[in-house]
Structure 1
Amino acid sequence: MTRYREICADLAHRISAGTLHPGDELPGVRDLAQQWHTTTSTVSRAQRRLADAGVLELADRRRARVAPGAALAARRFLYADTVFTLTGSDDPALGLVGGALDGKLRMVAGEGSVAGLGAVRQGRADGAAIHLLHHSGVYNAPFALGMLRGLEPHLIHLWRREQGLIVQPGNPHGITGVADLAGRRVSLRRPGTGTRLLLDRLLLTAGHDPDGLRGPEAGTHLEVALAVATGTVDAGLGVRSAATDMDLEFIPLTWEAFDIALTGSALGSAAQLVAALRTPALRARISSLGGYDTARSGEVTKLSDPTSEDRPSR
């Protein structure tokens, strides 16, 4: 590694770790050259490279300053070539995220939210997409904190999404809610998936036994919609965008938080993902699918309390 790259890495690590904060002024170029035992031209070159990456701000006759949003920019710089491995829950919009990251996101087929958290804990994936409603009414945070305890659990907010019943055009069976699923053939997600747990909870609230439902298991929301479209089942619980893709009717039931759970050690490799989620262009493409709220996409929360869902970190 050349000397100027070493200087870039050193400053980026200090900014990522929070030793240097947005607005902090760096020492003069000559002082930094003495500190790193190098030339002023090498220090200047390093500062220009970090400025191009959005980590520093440079201005004539002023010392370099740490830029706004520098912590994320520093992680993007340090982990520019790192691929983030994602498993866990399914969502049609994840394909748009993968396309925007140009090879920096590798999605591993998962078996739902709970299995995804287990994969992260075992080191088989960097993050897990999850949507799990706790009995306290809080989404995802209690489960991520519990299963990733001791590993600095964090959540990256993907989006809020609308879940509901997917039925055939014209709703021939007159289904208006989960109470009408009794006696119907229903496409079911696998046990341990967030959608299956949500359906079980809704059925119990309506006074029905979840074990009474019958029908084939589906691996994805699109498979649920496909089963409805082909007439294999009368209905299925899934996201609005899956119904839209198959020109099916959608009966809205709830909005839920869809997040990525990860450990503190994976924050660096997630930097490209976080930055992409914060771009208006990607948010607009996701929202256009229908049934998505991307207002908080890319928000990162460090978990420290099982009842705290909204503690953004830099």
Structure 2
Amino acid sequence: MTRYVEISTELARRVRYGDLLPGGELPAIRGYGRELGATSSTIVRAYRHLADAGVITLVDRRRARVSTDGPIAAARLLEADRVFRLAGSDDPALQLLLCHAGPAVVPVGTRGSFHGLRALARGDADGAAIHLRHYTGVYNAPYARALLADQRPHLLHLWRREQGLLVPAGNPQRITGPADLARRRVARREPGAGTRVLLEQQIITAGTDPYAVTGPELTSHLEIALAVASGIADAALGLRATVTDLGLEFIPLIWESYDVVLGAAVLGAARPLIAAVNDPGVRAAVDAIGGYDLAAAGTLHPVNDQPASTTPGG
């Protein structure tokens, strides 16, 4: 490895793991060169390499500081070639992101928010797409904090999406909300899916026993929408995005946050996914589906920096 790359790699590691903090000043070029037994020109090349990657900011010819997003940029620099294994929730728009990201992001495991969290806990995945409302009303952050407490957990916000009841055109059963689902044939996601959890939360809030709601259990949003469209079910809880081409009616209930939980060590590997959600073409394609809010899409936060607030409508 070229000497300046060795030096820049070591500095990137120190930034990523917190030995050099954002805003901190790097050693002076000449002094650092003497310390390492390297020429000043080698140190200059190392610093420029880090600056080009966004890890540091060159203040002037002699000084450099760790940039505000230095730890994230350092992770990206160090892990640029690693494949990111994504588990978790089913979502129609997520397929657009995966297609754009290409082979750098690989779906793994059984779909569902809880299944994704389990895969993450076992080390079988690097990130989990989830949409889980905590009893406090906060989405996703409490689960990330509990699961990845020793891994500096982050949330990559993909979007907010609208969930509601899917019913046939004309709403022949006169369903108006979760309280009307008892003794109806309701297409449900499988246990472990975030939408199944949301359905049961909504039913309990409406004062109804979740066990009074029965119907087929299916493994994707498309399948539950098809079940309603084909008459197998009277209703389902699902995404507004699934009703467009099936002639179904949508009774809105809630907007929920859809995020990817990941640890700080894999931020570099997540770069293609982050780039995909920030791509204008991908955003336009997701927006065209309907039922998505992309206002804060692509934002990445350490979980401890997440505001303790609820998602509107939740």
- More off after superposition, 154-163 vs 22-31: 22-31
SS at match of 1:46: helix
Contact 1:163–1:240 (8 Å) recurs in 2: yes
Take 1:197 and 1:174, find their aligned partners in 2: how far apart are those partners?
A: 24
Contact 1:23–1:68 (8 Å) recurs in 2: yes
Report the CA distance shift for 1:22/1:175 in structure 2 as closer, same or farther (over 3 A): same
Q: CA deviation at 1:6?
A: 0.9
SS at match of 2:92: coil
Q: Which residue of 2 aligns with 1:237?
A: 237
Q: Which residue of 1 aligns with 2:175?
A: 175
SS at match of 2:102: coil
Take 2:253 and 2:172, find their aligned partners in 1: how far apart are those partners?
A: 19
Report the CA distance shift for 1:301/1:63 in structure 2 as closer, same or farther (over 3 A): closer
Take 1:263 and 1:145, find their aligned partners in 2: how far apart are those partners?
A: 10
Contact 1:142–1:307 (8 Å) recurs in 2: no
Deviation track 1:190-249 (CA, whole Å, cap 9, x = no partner) reads 112211111112112223222222321111111112222333222211111122354532
Within a 5 Å distance, the mapping from 1:1-314 to structure 2 comes to 1-58=1-58, 61=61, 63-279=63-279, 281-303=281-303, 308=308
Contact 1:165–1:236 (8 Å) recurs in 2: yes
Deviation track 1:79-134 (CA, whole Å, cap 9, x = no partner) reads 11011111121111211221332322111242422222121111111122122222
What CA RMSD, in Å, does the superposition of the two structures yield over aligned residues? 3.0
Contact 2:75–2:268 (8 Å) recurs in 1: yes
Report the CA distance shift for 1:151/1:180 in structure 2 as closer, same or farther (over 3 A): same
Take 1:65 and 1:278, find their aligned partners in 2: how far apart are those partners?
A: 27
Contact 2:23–2:65 (8 Å) recurs in 1: yes
SS at match of 1:7: helix
- More off after superposition, 169-178 vs 195-204: 169-178
Report the CA distance shift for 1:29/1:150 in structure 2 as closer, same or farther (over 3 A): closer
Q: TM-score, normalised by structure 1?
A: 0.85
SS at match of 2:201: helix
Q: Give the letter aligned to residue 233 of structure 2.
A: V
Q: Give the letter aligned to residue 185 of structure 1.
A: R
Q: CA deviation at 1:25?
A: 4.5
Q: Give the letter aligned to residue 134 of structure 1.
A: H
- Kindly, what percent of the aligned residue pairs are identical? 52
Contact 2:72–2:267 (8 Å) recurs in 1: no
- More off after superposition, 178-187 vs 85-94: 178-187
Where do 5+ consecutive residues of structure 2 fail to align?
none
Q: CA deviation at 1:74?
A: 1.8
Q: CA deviation at 1:307?
A: 9.5
Report the CA distance shift for 1:295/1:103 in structure 2 as closer, same or farther (over 3 A): same
Report the CA distance shift for 1:17/1:117 in structure 2 as closer, same or farther (over 3 A): same
Q: Give the letter aligned to residue 292 of structure 1.
A: Y
Q: Give the letter aligned to residue 207 of structure 2.
A: G
Take 1:64 and 1:125, find their aligned partners in 2: how far apart are those partners?
A: 36
- More off after superposition, 236-245 vs 250-259: 236-245
Contact 2:79–2:266 (8 Å) recurs in 1: no
Take 1:241 and 1:198, find their aligned partners in 2: how far apart are those partners?
A: 17
Report the CA distance shift for 1:150/1:49 in structure 2 as closer, same or farther (over 3 A): closer
Q: CA deviation at 1:163?
A: 0.6
Report the CA distance shift for 1:298/1:219 in structure 2 as closer, same or farther (over 3 A): same
Take 2:98 and 2:242, find their aligned partners in 1: how far apart are those partners?
A: 18
- More off after superposition, 44-53 vs 215-224: 44-53
Q: Give the letter aligned to residue 235 of structure 1.
A: A
Contact 1:72–1:271 (8 Å) recurs in 2: no
Report the CA distance shift for 1:174/1:270 in structure 2 as closer, same or farther (over 3 A): same
Report the CA distance shift for 1:200/1:152 in structure 2 as closer, same or farther (over 3 A): same
Q: Give the letter aligned to residue 243 of structure 1.
A: V
Deviation track 1:235-287 (CA, whole Å, cap 9, x = no partner) reads 21111112235453221101112222234443443344345444555444433
Contact 1:141–1:309 (8 Å) recurs in 2: no
